[in-house]
A and B are shown apart, each in its own frame.
Chain A
Amino acid sequence: MFIDWQDKLKRVGNRLMFFDIPIAMHCHHYNINLQKLHEDILGMEGVRLIYNAAEESNYTAFKIMLAEYPMIRSHKSKLEFAASIYQHCGLGVINFQEVGPDGGMIISPSSHHVTGWLAKHGLRKTPGCHFTRGWIAGVLEVIYHLPIGYFEIRELNCKMMRHAVCQFDVQLNRGKHGH
């Protein structure tokens, strides 16, 4: 299916829009500064805040974007659409290989946050793709018609720790939805 990505990122009046949703361009310095600030000051609570913000913002936006293309019907096509959006937002490359409503595994061979973190701070000792974890949760909850918070995404391997790829494990959030 053809999607005119060039037309989707545009200025409307003085605002910058993607699929008619307000967006901002930020560089890796700002994105990584915000992540480090949240981690340094709030610890795990800050990590959760980044995850939740990415999940909520993407859940809302992806619903709108998907609604624009009712011909994208299968789960597989919706996952491909999501991966294309990730790439067109300059967030990196993401492969939804083995995932469904009951969970699964997702791989990211490159990302804005990995490149940015490594450029600013070098290797980490713990996984650092909190934004991407939340982003994935938001997408999957929209695709499978589930509420926010249904999935819990863990990062098993992270390129910020010198692993070959970032690997995400999708599980059901047992505490929150009583599974």
Chain B
Amino acid sequence: MAIDSHKIIHAIVEGSKIRDEKGIIPMFGVYLSVYFTSYYNIISFDFLSKMGKRRALEAEKLLIHAAQECGYTTFHGIRRSWEWEELVQPMLETIDDQIQGFLSVATAFGWGGEMEVIELIPGNRLHFRVYESYESAGYLKRRGIAGSGKCFMLRGVAAAFMDLIYGDAYPDGCFTFSAAEPFCRAKGDTFCEFIAEKSSP
């Protein structure tokens, strides 16, 4: 059975409308919040500015690692949740199908619109394209054209997907992979692309 992304996206958008009496959204084994992308863009890009040019690479690495650790924990919770078991698991024929399932969840979360797998070499390499990353849109709006990729959250998450599927068993597999962003809309490209490969030792 092929992965029905629309079904996953619809179920998440509808499910995320459920609040408990404390105003919390418990879903997929995590607590979700729904908030404006402008907030996330301000705290990421202002963090870069505060760190200064001299520490720019360190700042980017910190933002990517924060997202990778989060993506690793969150999507581990997601694939163990009853929602995943009922909704997504029946569509999975191979372990590689999980990637498509993860990308559908990321789309439903509003992280980047349509996401398309370009190439998956099991255990080695994931290459996918994102058409409307909110990070790239936010960078362009606030800062103009960038000299390098600015989708730090999606870079971390791309690597986390591979960590979860092809790294050591949870919780020992995080940071097995790392991701690059060769194309980014913030640089003037028409889409963003991410390539996750094994991290250098």
**A residues near B38, Cβ cutoff 8 Å:** 22, 56-57, 60-61
Complex formed: what's the CA distance from A16 to B84 in Å? 21
Q: Given known contacts A5-B17, A31-B33, A37-B66, is B74 in contact with A15 (CB within 8 Å)?
A: no
Can you name the residue of chain A whose Cβ is closest to the Cβ of B109? A25
**A residues near B43, Cβ cutoff 8 Å:** 34, 38, 49-50, 53
Contact A9 B17 (CB under 8 A): yes
**B residues near A25, Cβ cutoff 8 Å:** 12, 16, 32-34, 108-110
Contact A46 B110 (CB under 8 A): no
| B73 at the binding interface (Cβ < 8 Å) | yes
**B residues near A58, Cβ cutoff 8 Å:** 36, 39
Q: Given known contacts A9-B17, A38-B47, A56-B42, is B23 in contact with A23 (CB within 8 Å)?
A: no
Contact A26 B69 (CB under 8 A): no
Complex formed: what's the CA distance from A22 to B47 in Å? 21
Contact of A9 among B28, B34, B73, B74 (CB under 8 A): B34
Q: How far is the CB of A89 from chain B (nearest CB, A)?
A: 5
Contact of B110 among A23, A38, A42, A86 (CB under 8 A): A23
Can you name the residue of chain A whose Cβ is closest to the Cβ of B131? A14
Q: Pick the interface stretch among A71-79, A109-117, A147-155.
A: A109-117
| A91 at the binding interface (Cβ < 8 Å) | yes
Interface size on B, residues (CB 8 A): 50
Contact A26 B113 (CB under 8 A): no
| B19 at the binding interface (Cβ < 8 Å) | yes
| B24 at the binding interface (Cβ < 8 Å) | yes
B147-177 vs A: 1/0 string, CB under 8 Å?
A: 0000001000000000000000000000000
**B residues near A56, Cβ cutoff 8 Å:** 38, 42
Contact B31 A61 (CB under 8 A): no
Can you name the residue of chain A whose Cβ is closest to the Cβ of B114? A14
Complex formed: what's the CA distance from A109 to B111 in Å? 30
| A2 at the binding interface (Cβ < 8 Å) | no
**B residues near A34, Cβ cutoff 8 Å:** 40, 43-44, 66
| B124 at the binding interface (Cβ < 8 Å) | no
| A87 at the binding interface (Cβ < 8 Å) | yes
**A residues near B67, Cβ cutoff 8 Å:** 30, 33
Contact A22 B31 (CB under 8 A): no
Within B60-88, which residues are at the interface with A (CB < 8 Å)?
Answer: 62-63, 66-67, 69-70, 73-74, 77
**B residues near A15, Cβ cutoff 8 Å:** 110, 113, 132
**A residues near B32, Cβ cutoff 8 Å:** 25-27, 90
Within A1-57, which residues are at the interface with B (CB < 8 Å)?
Answer: 5-6, 9-11, 13-16, 18, 21-31, 33-34, 37-38, 41-42, 45-46, 49-50, 52-54, 56-57
A-B contact pairs, 27 of them (CB 8 A): A9-B16, A9-B34, A13-B113, A15-B110, A18-B34, A21-B36, A22-B110, A23-B34, A23-B35, A25-B12, A26-B32, A26-B109, A27-B70, A29-B30, A29-B70, A37-B47, A41-B62, A49-B50, A50-B43, A52-B46, A53-B42, A56-B38, A58-B36, A60-B36, A89-B34, A92-B23, A112-B31
Which residues of A come within 8 Å of B, CB atoms? 5-6, 9-11, 13-16, 18, 21-31, 33-34, 37-38, 41-42, 45-46, 49-50, 52-54, 56-58, 60-61, 86-93, 109-112, 115-116, 119
Additional A-B contact list (11), CB under 8 Å, known A13-B113, A30-B74, A115-B22: A16-B109, A25-B16, A27-B28, A49-B42, A49-B50, A57-B39, A90-B16, A91-B23, A93-B22, A110-B22, A110-B23
